[in-house]
Amino acid sequence: NAGVTQTPKFRVLKTGQSMTLLCAQDMNHEYMYWYRQDPGMGLRLIHYSVGEGTTAKGEVPDGYNVSRLKKQNFLLGLESAAPSQTSVYFCASLRDQSYNEQFFGPGTRLTVL
């Protein structure tokens, strides 16, 4: 199993550009999450999904959209990137709520100029 994978690993955008980050998991997990990690702020939850076709807002959802059209994929979109969205983005998955351990991807480092 590859576990949780993220594409791309690095990306540089100009202000106002759009992009989509892809998270994929091959563990048949129901729950998936998008976090951002910033210096001095820890990891903060952006959006999450409790199953195919569902999405919900986390702690810092503004400026992001998500979709979960397939169970194994969770997409994070930035429609109009801003410098404040410069961060490292992590995806995670969880088998279901009765389980405990979230599995994390390797991260995507995004810079918005």
Partner 1 sequence: KQEVTQIPAALSVPEGENLVLNCSFTDSAIYNLQWFRQDPGKGLTSLLLIQSSQREQTSGRLNASLDKSSGRSTLYIAASQPGDSATYLCAVRPETSGSRLTFGEGTQLTVNP
Q: Is residue 1 a contact point for partner 1 (CB under 8 A)?
A: no
Q: Answer yes or no whether residue 34 interacts with partner 1 by CB under 8 A.
A: no
Does residue number 90 form part of the binding site for partner 1 (CB under 8 A)?
yes
Other C-beta atoms closer than 10 Å to the C-beta of 71 total 15
Minimal distance, residue 68 CB to partner 1, in Å: 15
> Considering only residues 52, 58, 60, 63, which one is a binding residue for partner 1 as defined by CB under 8 A?
58
31 binds partner 1 (CB under 8 A): yes
Q: Which of 78, 94, 110, 112 binds partner 1 (CB under 8 A)?
A: 94
Kindly state the smallest distance separating residue 106's Cβ from partner 1, in Å: 4
Nearest to 34 by CA among 68, 79, 11, 84: 68
**87: how many CB neighbours lie within 10 A of its CB?**
21
| 48 CB-contact burial (10 Å; exposed 0-12 / middle 13-18 / buried 19+) | buried
Sequence-distant (6+) residues with CB within 8 A of 56 are 47, 48, 49, 50
Binding stretches for partner 1 (CB under 8 A): 4, 31, 33, 40-45, 48, 50, 58, 90, 92, 94, 97, 100-107, 109
